[in-house]
Amino acid sequence: MAVLETKELQTHFRTRRGLIKAVNGVSLALEPGQVLGLVGESGAGKTVLALSILNLVPYPGRIVGGDVLFDGRSLLRLSAKDLRTIRGKEISMVSQDPVRGLNPVMSIGPQVEEMLTSHLPLSKREARERALGLLEQMGLPDAKRIAAAYPYQLSGGMCQRVMLAIAMALNPRVLIADEPTSALDVTLQAEMLTEIRQLKERCGAAVLFISHDLGVIAQMADEVAVMYAGAVVERGPALEIFRRPAHPYTWGLLRSLPRLDQRRQETLPTIRGAPPSLLNLPDECPFLPRCHKATSECRTSPNPRLQPAGVHQVACYNPVRHDWGQEAPA
């Protein structure tokens, strides 16, 4: 049984210029111990989806349709008080910008302690000791000094470790990691990924891992969902997605990656055009203007829905049917 599930989730932003469909009918399921990688270009709606799961969409955004289920309970129908008991304890999130994710006028120690005392009956001394232990667990040198420091006194990588310490403080059942390695160098990135793996193995936690780095997703994910223009266009086992992508967009993303067997002087192929504006999206495939496999059906039919394609699910009328390395665009 899925521990976390979104059903046809829709989050829109009503602006003076029109309606922005940031999340447009997304259905995903996370099982205990599973890592689901969510990939896509900037602006695809990945972060808004993560915020929608926790019902933290900023104004003027609003969840207008669908549902989010945690252990079969609708999070969107819970009271604010009940939802606060779940956030942080059962479902935690590591935000994309670690510096902005921390309170700039509070030192680090009290911010970690606050997560503990808001959910557990701990004394101030017990909370302080556990907070220092969490900071040490994240590999931060001199935990007492870090606890007394303010976010602006730490590097981006150190702030990201603090955010992960807060997120993992109560061994959550679901961890939403939104670009957790984007501010880190390669060494720190590897350590961060190790910590997330250990959380999954220690607690059987389900992880929604959001990234635009396909290399990181290949290391971490059991399954992959590809987002484009607010919707999931392909979903399937990670190995199959990387070996046999079915959607032309996924195929294009993988072709644009450098390969060890590629000649140094060879130019990397790119996806022509640019992602569509989410403002007043037409009722057709949003990838249509950039697609090399478009047919007349694509131009006359409504936006395709996810359909089975082998072990994949793909939203495409004319999916790729060969290995991406063996097929050339028309």
Q: Is 26 left (phi over 0), alpha (psi -120 to 50) or beta?
A: beta
Annotate 150-169 with DSSP letters as a single string: -GGGS-HHHHHHHHHHHHHT
Q: Look at residue 297 and tell me if it is in a domain.
A: yes
Domain with residue 190: its CATH number is 3.40.50.300
Residues 163 and 51 in one domain: yes
Integer Cα distance of 179 and 63 in angstroms: 23
Q: Give how far Cα 36 sits from Cα of 51, 60, 131, 132, Å.
A: 16, 28, 29, 30
Q: Is residue 264 part of a domain?
A: no
User: Do 283 and 193 lie in a common domain?
Assistant: no
- Alpha-carbon distance 158 to 140, whole Å? 7
| Coil, strand or helix at 33 | coil
Report the pLDDT value the prediction gives residue 261, as an integer from 0 to 100. 67
Quote the pLDDT of residue 183: 66
Report helix, strand or coil for 246. coil
pLDDT at residue 265 in the model: 65
183: Cα separation from own chain's centroid: 15
- Are 20 and 129 contained in the same domain? yes
Residue 263 in any domain: the answer is no
Q: How confident is the prediction along the chain (330 residues), in pLDDT tens digits per residue?
A: 899 999 999 999 998 888 999 999 999 999 999 999 999 888 889 999 999 999 999 999 999 999 999 999 999 999 988 998 999 889 999 887 777 788 999 999 999 999 999 999 999 999 999 999 999 888 888 899 999 999 999 888 888 889 988 988 888 999 999 988 776 778 778 888 888 888 888 888 899 999 988 888 998 999 999 999 999 999 999 999 998 899 999 998 888 877 766 676 677 778 888 888 888 787 889 999 999 888 999 988 998 988 887 788 999 999 987 544 444 343
- Nearest 5°: the CA angle 42, 46, 50 is 145
d(CA 170, CA 160): 17
Surface-to-core class of residue 87, CB atoms within 10 Å of its CB (0-12 exposed, 13-18 middle, 19+ buried): middle
Instruction: Give CA separation, 242 vs 75, 210, 217, 234, in Å.
Output: 33, 16, 10, 12
Look up tokens 């967009």; give the residue: 249
Q: How far is CA 75 from the centre of its chain?
A: 18
Q: How many domains does the chain fold into?
A: 2
Q: Do 195 and 118 sit in the same domain of this protein?
A: yes
Asked if residue 190 and residue 159 are part of one domain, the reply reads yes
Domain co-membership, 232 together with 217: no
Q: In terms of domains, do 177 and 293 share one?
A: no
Domain extent, residue 290, equals 228-257+269-326
Q: Which residues pair with 70 in a beta bridge?
A: 4, 73
Is residue 262 one of the residues assigned to a domain?
no
Whole-number pLDDT of residue 322: 58
Same domain for 39 and 144, yes or no, is yes
Provide the 10 A C-beta neighbour count for residue 139. Answer: 14
Long-range Cβ contact pairs of 305-310 (< 8 A, separation 24 or more): 306/27, 306/232, 306/233, 306/234, 306/235, 309/246, 310/240, 310/244, 310/246
Residues 6+ apart with CB under 8 A from 65: 8, 9, 10, 25
